[in-house]
A and B are shown apart, each in its own frame.
Chain A
């Protein structure tokens, strides 16, 4: 699944090109709020980080989690509660949310990694549904209402986040931090062992790796980063609700990653951008969003399982192979 990173690592020329492209992309993101509605951009950034975190698991360990909404939405609740009820500083609140998601990841992951493949997907889905039921019942989430009116507050007590542009750049900074964290994980020795497990779990076991620990480690990191995205979203949009913990949200993040390209670094970002843009576009029309999401799922699975970025990389790889 992960043709992308290995391929780029093998091609020094392309590596330079991609660095140039990366710099251009960051420049573009810095300039974006002058051309687009910042709230939508921030939404894309939050979901893009969420999708990248999810992709860390499916793309580089081969585990399909169908319950990542629990970490995203769970962190949103923790952050919202910390900022609103405890009156904590926004960044601290976000980090608390991510920490909460990591703890949940440890618990859910500990149970789920006992099975593989299709069972892993069903188990994560069931456990996240359990979490959603709990969120519906406990007082601290305020049930159907959710936690509303979360203050954005002052970053480090100094910078007013109620300014849309400031909020955007802080969100961008968090996104870039998360993205590079994932990039570092994937390209570390730890990441290489994860890929070895994905390719052939038995061989990894026979080489003496304690596969379960690596899987659990990756699961917790993925959950924490999904939590970072969810906590940020709670500050940006100033609320946390049941929507973020439900299975539909887990489905959406799968779609974003699948559409952009499982196992590619930038695929999930592209996918998140496209899905958010489509949702915004459809919000004005009468067409049901769920149906469209379902249709995209079916088309992706049947026609381009590598996703948009994955297919482009595959085309480039075939071309260079053909030339040399």
Chain B
């Protein structure tokens, strides 16, 4: 046996075989990033606004002295209520649409008719591919300045996403109970009601609250394009250069988004850990009842009248817009500029995701809450980073873009960085949670053999968290490409800016073409992201 152990190394040397698919994706991603940075003008020409420093100083110094007079605060409080009301009603509509839509797009409904299922899924890509703000701008042209604009602008795209997610949740339920009911002769609807819905209900409810949380952020953004509420106050104060008021608005909307974030997460965590005992959880019951009451109050507060939707004026306006929008414009100049701006849009989203991923990777270790005792310095740094991440994601990307435009020249870069810091807020938290969920023992084993903290973290944590974090980053890229349109609408360039200018000119045929381009672009990004995530697995 000793002979076996002490045998000299005589076999041909083993070579390192890299996973070709991953390497191709990695190199491709690096190439696209360099191309995007070049496109943003980072390697050529000026990107920093030399005269912006003074303005920025004035703006930044107002941060410590926000407007606090009673009249303005009362105005902001009313605006915050408008924003919350939009969010609540938009979510309610989205859940209604999503519930009906889920039945139409679930695999359970279509069974083996794959083509029908694919077509139903494909139909969702259109409402889903357009950002809430785009819906808002379109609806303003049909409904005028009516509260329905805000509600529908949130409800329609959210409804499409909700339909897809609800359908997936129901389709993922183990089929045993459902099939047993079918076998015993009950109809498919009854069987689904008894065999599929109850096991899926926790997930459905959790997602509903997540949507409400997102809707608050969307409602703020809709305000920025003129739908009223906090965002609207912010844009008014910004346009009149009242920095002290701007800061009060920013604090107010950060507080609102923060509350939604914390409350939503608390409810969802409770749902995830709720024991399956027969007793109802009083907090969850209160949350559901509260959400229902909030919806009813919002209806009253916004004074929604269903009559507006079916009035003669709405009908004729819709007819006019649709008539003017078809056929889409196909002239070469427009298509050429769409192609160029689509490139800008993609570059913006790529830079944003790169910034966010890099930042999340660097901060994840500090932001994660380790199990066991911590030194006071480590605890303080962790809390600080978590609060910063919370603030980054509490302020919507267009607001970040407005701030960055002080110091950067207009173009791809300010929009990209604005999206980047916002996405960093989201991705940083996800990355920290990914490292928290890892088994702590391999890292402890490395510490026990004398590894430095950095080495133990690199070998024991980073190597295992990289895959999940990259997958999250790719998923956030899909979200970022939609948000790129949003910051574009507010002047940061790309397809969004073109859309805004065509709408301002009432060139509906061109608007149709731009919208089609946006839908195709978001669909392509979804496709690439999905493929890349598969290569990661």
Q: Do A and B bind each other?
A: no
- Which B residues are closer than 8 A to A by beta carbons? none
